Structure formats: structure tokens, C-alpha cells
A = this chain, B = another copy of it.
Amino acid sequence: MSIDFSPEALTDDLVAAGHIIPVGVQGIFGRGPVFEDVLRRFDDYVSRIAADDHATRMSFPPCLDRKVLERSEYLDSFPQLAGTIFSFSGTEAQHKELVENVHEGRPWTHLQTMTAVCLTPAACYPVYPSFSGTLPEEGKLVDMQNWVFRNEPSPEPTRMQSFRVREFVRVGTPDMVVPWRDLWLQRGLTILQSLGLPARAEVASDPFFGRGGRMLAANQREQQLKFEVVVPVISEQKPTAVCSFNYHQDHFGQLFDIHTANGDVAHTACLGFGLERIVMALFKTHGMDPATWPQATRDILWS
């Protein structure tokens, strides 16, 4: 049976099944009950696989201290994707103007001022400030599930402006961090393949801004700092990244003053499961009704 791989086909099927609920803007949609159930079951499966690692579990809100965004150099690399939060801080007269502009469809940008918070640009960002200082001998390992924002409206259902990532972050010496990243790259593949997804790993790069960004991306590939696990979801030729594995070397260690027990600047790596993308990959591969999924997949998720 040949599958129609296109963004439109997946959107139509997900909407018809009640798995996603379109709203008026691209990259934002409601999730239906079966979608949420599968997402929670996949997330719990990851928890079972990771249990013996005894990572410290944390959860952060979708909003981040703006100082962390500024300090992180995210705006150097991805200014077009970052979201900052503005609000109204004016007088009653300005409020009158605001309301009139809103109801008459005129611009009201000038009646908004920047707040001290922004959207979380990547699931690992909230945790780095908590590592500042000297690490314990064995480094640290954190496990999170956070909402992430990207300013990239798109008709592709897999390219969301707001989505959840199950994220693990390791901080310590390069000897701790790199083998851990490699272990999880294998685990990520095994997890997805065990669910019947045709997953494979590949070297990847980030969407750095501007002309200079092309060099940064080439450098990232050459040093194999980023891997992705990909699965065909809206295209067979260009499969969708559903997990991402990043080795930051001492980037965050420098920026957030993180040192290992022996005084060196700490290295970090992180990996994230794109939860909505994985749920969509499962629906695309096995069909819109989980009751008809392969028994091996069901045995794992409904265990």
C-alpha cells in the first residue's frame, strides 16, 4: 500500500480523526484526547527506559527569564525564531486608545512594552542557570518536559510554533557528556524502532540566521555536534526530525559559569524527543486509530 506523504494529507487525516483542532493561525492547534493519550504513553515509555539513570526531574513553564535568553546567545544565532513577551503598562487614556485601535483593526504595537520574560526557545534553556558554579564530581543529569516556542508559522503540521519536548541535559566533563550523548542516540533509535517507526539517525545542523549562519551550520555538521533521528511523516525524501542530540562543547559552560569539580569549564549535551512529532509519526505510520496499530506497538505503549 503506498502512503500519500504530504503536509496536506497528514493535516486532513489528523483533523478528520479529531487528533488536532485547527485554530486561526498556522503552527498552533488544539490536541484531541487520543493524541494526548498517545503523547502521555510515549512520554511514560521514555521514563521507563530512562529510569535507571536516576536523572533529576524538573518541569519549567513555557516562559523564561529574558536575561537567560540574552545571555545564552540564542539571539545571535536564531533571532527570527525567538519570541519575546510584551504587555500594556500605560495610563487609562492610553488604555482607551488601545481598546479603540484593537476594535477598529488599527495597529496597537506602540501600546505594548517589553516584559522581563520571553518564550522558552529550546527545552534545555531554563536549566543552565541552575548549573552555575562548581558541579559535583559526577556532574549532573536533568530530565524535563517543557513547552517550546518557535516563531515559524507553517502549513506543515509537523512545524509548530508551540510544542512539547521531553529533554535530557547532561553537564560535566567531555568524557561524561559525549558517551552519554552517544548512548542516547542509540536509545532514541531503539525506542522509535521498537514502536515500528522507520527511524534512522543522521548528522544535522541548526537553522542559523543570515549569510554567516551558513558557515556556522557547515561547521556544526563537520564537527558532528548535532544528530537527529528522522522518520518519514510528511515526506519520504525529507523525513522529519523527531529527536535531536546536541553536543554544545563548553558553550553553555562559558556563558553560565559552570565548572567541573577539577575547575575546568563544564561541557554540556542535550537530547530532546519532539513529542507531538513522534505522535504524528505514529499516526502516519500505523494509521489514525490506535486500536488498529501493530500489537508490538500497542504492547509497549499500553503496557
B85 close to A85 (CB less than 8 A): yes
A163 close to B23 (CB less than 8 A): no
Confirm or deny: A81 has a beta carbon within 8 angstroms of a beta carbon on chain B: yes
Which of A64-72, A224-232, A288-296 lies at the interface with chain B?
A64-72
In the complex, residue of chain B having the shortest beta-carbon distance to the beta carbon of A84: B86
- Integer count of this chain's copies in the complex: 2
Contacts of A87 in B (CB 8 A): 79-84, 151
Contacts of A209 in B (CB 8 A): 95
In the complex, residue of chain B having the shortest beta-carbon distance to the beta carbon of A162: B61
Q: Smallest CB–CB gap between A103 and chain B, Å?
A: 8
Contact of A79 among B76, B95, B119 (CB under 8 A): B95
Knowing A84-B86, A113-B109, A151-B115, say if A25 contacts B59 (CB, 8 Å).
no
Q: Smallest CB–CB gap between A136 and chain B, Å?
A: 15
Within the assembled complex, what's the spacing in Å between the Cα atoms of A70 and B111?
14
Within the assembled complex, what's the spacing in Å between the Cα atoms of A114 and B116?
16
Confirm or deny: A9 has a beta carbon within 8 angstroms of a beta carbon on chain B: no
Contacts of A90 in B (CB 8 A): 79
27 inter-chain pairs at a CB distance below 8 angstroms, sorted by A residue, are: A21-B58, A23-B68, A23-B126, A24-B67, A24-B129, A25-B65, A28-B61, A29-B61, A30-B58, A30-B126, A30-B127, A32-B57, A61-B162, A62-B149, A63-B161, A75-B88, A79-B87, A79-B98, A83-B85, A83-B87, A83-B117, A84-B85, A84-B112, A85-B151, A92-B211, A109-B114, A117-B162
Q: A30-B59, A61-B160, A63-B149 are in contact. List 11 more A-B contacts (CB 8 A).
A: A30-B58, A30-B127, A35-B59, A62-B62, A63-B119, A82-B87, A82-B88, A85-B85, A85-B119, A86-B114, A95-B209
